[in-house]
Structures are given as C-alpha cells and as structure tokens.
Amino acid sequence: EIPVLFKKELQNEETKEGKQVKLTCELSKPDTPVKWIKGDTVLHASEKYEFKQHGTVAELIIRDVKSIDS
C-alpha cells in the first residue's frame, strides 16, 4: 500500500486571543483518517476544537484562542 504523504504541510497562523484560527493540511490520499496532536496530547472534538475533512484537505479549527494554544 502506498504511504500517505503531506502534499501541503501545516503553516503557522496568527490571530488575536479570543478569536478562532484554522489550520489546514493537504494529504496525498483522500479521506485518510487524521489525528491532530499538540505536543503529546491527542486533540478531541469539543467546543474548542473542530475537525473537518474534505477529500484530501484536513482542517483543525481552534476557537477562543489563548496563548497556551501556540
């Protein structure tokens, strides 16, 4: 099986505290399960984190951004 690769890697994004930010990456294979991790912690969907995936594009939306989210 062909390994899944990043066609477009995550880019740094800036926003103001209290706002939301969207992180996007593109994979080489559509609808591949994506696990979002911050440090050693796996992120789970919640009021703060929203995950979207459309074909090869995966998105993480972080709401109410704080400095600890950097």
Which residue in 42, 43, 38 sits closest to 68, CA to CA? 38
Into how many domains does the chain fold? Answer: 1
**Is residue 34 included in any domain, yes or no?**
yes
Share of the chain above pLDDT 70, in %: 100
With a cut of 70, list the residues of the chain below it in pLDDT: none
Q: How do residues 5-17 score in pLDDT, each as one tens digit?
A: 999 988 989 999 9
**Is residue 69 included in any domain, yes or no?**
no
Q: Which domain holds residue 49?
A: 6-63
Which residue in 57, 54, 52 sits closest to 28, CA to CA? 57
**Is residue 68 included in any domain, yes or no?**
no
Residue 17: give its domain's CATH number: 2.60.40.10
Residue 64 Ramachandran class (φ > 0 left, ψ -120 to 50 alpha, else beta): left
**Is residue 70 included in any domain, yes or no?**
no
Can you name the residues that pair with 59 across neighbouring β-strands?
Answer: 24, 52
**Is residue 29 included in any domain, yes or no?**
yes
* pTM given for the model: 0.88
Contact between 12 and 25 (Cβ < 8 Å)? no
**Is residue 24 included in any domain, yes or no?**
yes
